[in-house]
């Protein structure tokens, strides 16, 4: 028997609201606005102004933006140090650029462990990628110190963290006084360059999209040249992305009826009406054949519409995270530490069987499996050997992948929905 509760989902275009749907619907019937238009430049200007940086370039995805950064470094060979517990979208550009990924373990913030970073720096090390996992800023001060000491290039992976700031330095801190200048400084402005994702379930979404930013004039001109050589994606691909928020919104209610919602969207992907968020070749260490490209005007319009709601979205996430904090503190789980994060996800760790818990949750119409689990490079069906990961390299990341449960904080999670999640977890953890 089916209960009459509406399904709660952590993914599937979670940020989409009525104005986004209406905009996507209108654009479907305005193909002359799909590729060219003023929205691309406006989106890039928004990022420059928001981050107070001189250069911003938009792409069809965060991985394309990252690849543009790596290619602009003109490294013929070498190693890129990036953390375990990451997405293959952050690894494949490294492989595409002809470089070798070296995995660094994580600490209890789910970000790069600086002590392990120091151990894994070698003669061929060229780049360090600081990932701000689920909107929690990495330890940028210490990572930057390590990079400067070893003459390494620091790149920030801000795919999860638009709007997050570096934590304030306490007054009684033993750190040098000049670090006080970092108070309130947004992530994305610390490294030589940074990249953001505007993917389907990111902080803001254009369905597919990414941005590369830098304040370095040499790097800026190199990315500009590289960007100018990119083509625009095809019309059918743009059509697929405009359909995505409309059809996922249509499918969401049917997730409450067995597997009907999944079958509906899966069938649309199988016949090519919708595209997948992660292509099959990406799970084997390769970028999709139609990547990288520029972002088309239509998707930039969607991104701009969401950018206008960024502060509202992040305030909402903070409120939902605060609700979780207050209501889950008595459970035998590890909750997020206090920080200046934006809580793109609210992550908790449990020693219990997370597969069993998530399966029970689905029976209660609570869908919490976002794919960020089970392996140190996600999604779980990524072939680790093909992304140069060997089991045992990052034991903490591997343990977290087994123990993590992510809770939704997105704009469509009301306090009533958050209470349903809390009630379920109290009964099952």
CA separation, residue 112 to residues 40, 97, 143 (Å): 33, 22, 9
pLDDT at 193: 98
Class of residue 231 by CB neighbours under 10 A (exposed 0-12, middle 13-18, buried 19+): exposed
Element (H, E) at 148: helix 140-150
Q: Write down the pLDDT at residue 188.
A: 96
Q: What global pTM score does this model have? A: 0.94
Which residues lie below 8 Å from residue 17, measured CB to CB, with a gap of 6+?
Answer: 309, 411, 412
CA distance 202 to 303: 11
- Taking CA 153 as the corner, what is the angle to CA 149 and CA 158, rounded to the nearest 5 degrees? 120
Local structure of 26: helix, strand or coil: helix
Separation between Cα atoms, residue 226 and residue 215, nearest integer Å: 17
Q: State the Cα–Cα distance between residues 210 and 47, nearest whole angstrom.
A: 11
What is the C-alpha separation between 187 and 141, in angstroms, rounded? 12
| Residue 425, both tokens | 């977890």
Torsion of CA 205, 211, 215, 216, to 10 degrees: 160
**Low-confidence residues of the chain: pLDDT under 70:** 1-4, 167-183, 334-339
pLDDT confidence of residue 178? 37
At 339 the pLDDT is 59
Distance CA 407, CA 72 (A): 37
Q: SS3 for 37?
A: coil
Question: What per-residue confidence (pLDDT) applies to 337?
Answer: 61
**Residue 299 phi/psi, 5° resolution?**
-75, -30
- Chain centroid offset of residue 420 CA: 25
- Alpha-carbon torsion, ordered 343, 349, 354, 359, to 10 deg: -40
* Coil, strand or helix at 25: helix
> What is the predicted pLDDT for the residue at 180?
44
pLDDT at residue 174 in the model: 45
Tokens for 202, please give them: 């990111």
Distance separating alpha carbons of residues 246 and 372, to the nearest angstrom: 25
* 354-363 and 415-428 helices, crossing angle to 10°: 130
- Cβ-Cβ contacts under 8 Å for 421 (sequence gap 6 or more): 8, 324, 366, 368, 407, 408
* pLDDT of the residue at 334: 67
- Please report the pLDDT score of residue 219 as a whole number: 96
């Amino acid at each position: 028997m089916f209960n009459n509760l509406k399904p709660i989902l952590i993914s599937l275009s979670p940020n989409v609201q009525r104005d986004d749907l209406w905009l996507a619907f209108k654009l479907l019937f305005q193909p002359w606005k799909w590729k060219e238009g003023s929205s691309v430049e406006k989106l890039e200007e928004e990022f420059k102004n928001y981050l107070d940086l001189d250069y911003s370039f938009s792409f069809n995805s965060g991985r394309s933006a990252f690849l543009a950064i790596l290619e602009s470094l003109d490294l013929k060979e070498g190693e890129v140090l990036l953390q375990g517990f990451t997405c293959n979208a952050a690894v494949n550009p490294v492989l595409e650029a002809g470089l070798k990924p070296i995995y660094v373990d994580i600490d209890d913030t789910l970000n790069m462990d600086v002590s392990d970073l120091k151990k894994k720096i070698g003669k061929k090390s060229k780049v360090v990628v600081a990932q701000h996992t689920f909107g929690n800023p990495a330890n940028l001060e210490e990572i930057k110190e390590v990079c400067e000491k070893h003459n390494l290039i620091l790149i920030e992976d801000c795919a999860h963290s638009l709007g997050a700031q570096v934590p304030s330095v306490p007054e009684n801190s033993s750190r040098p006084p000049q670090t006080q200048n970092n108070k309130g400084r947004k992530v994305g402005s610390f490294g030589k360059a940074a990249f953001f994702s505007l993917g389907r379930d990111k902080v803001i979404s254009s369905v597919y999209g990414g941005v590369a930013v830098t304040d370095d004039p040499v790097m800026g001109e190199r990315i500009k040249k590289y960007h100018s050589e990119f083509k625009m994606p095809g019309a059918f691909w743009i059509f697929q992305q405009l359909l995505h928020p409309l059809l996922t919104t249509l499918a969401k209610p049917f997730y409450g009826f067995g597997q009907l919602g999944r079958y509906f969207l899966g069938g649309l992907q199988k016949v090519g009406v919708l595209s997948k968020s992660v292509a099959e070749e990406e799970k084997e260490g390769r970028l999709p054949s139609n990547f990288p490209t520029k972002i088309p005007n239509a998707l930039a319009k969607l991104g701009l519409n969401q950018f206008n709601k960024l502060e509202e979205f992040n305030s909402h996430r903070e409120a939902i995270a605060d609700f979780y904090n207050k209501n889950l503190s008595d459970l035998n789980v590890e909750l997020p530490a206090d920080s200046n994060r934006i809580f793109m996800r609210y992550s908790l760790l449990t020693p219990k069987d997370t597969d069993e818990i998530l399966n029970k949750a689905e029976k209660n119409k609570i869908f919490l499996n976002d794919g960020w689990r089970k392996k140190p490079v996600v999604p779980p069906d990524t072939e680790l050997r093909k992304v140069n990961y060997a089991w045992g390299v990052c034991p903490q990341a591997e343990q977290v992948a087994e123990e993590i449960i992510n809770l939704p904080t997105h704009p469509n999670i009301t306090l009533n929905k958050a209470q349903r999640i809390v009630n379920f977890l109290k009964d099952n953890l």
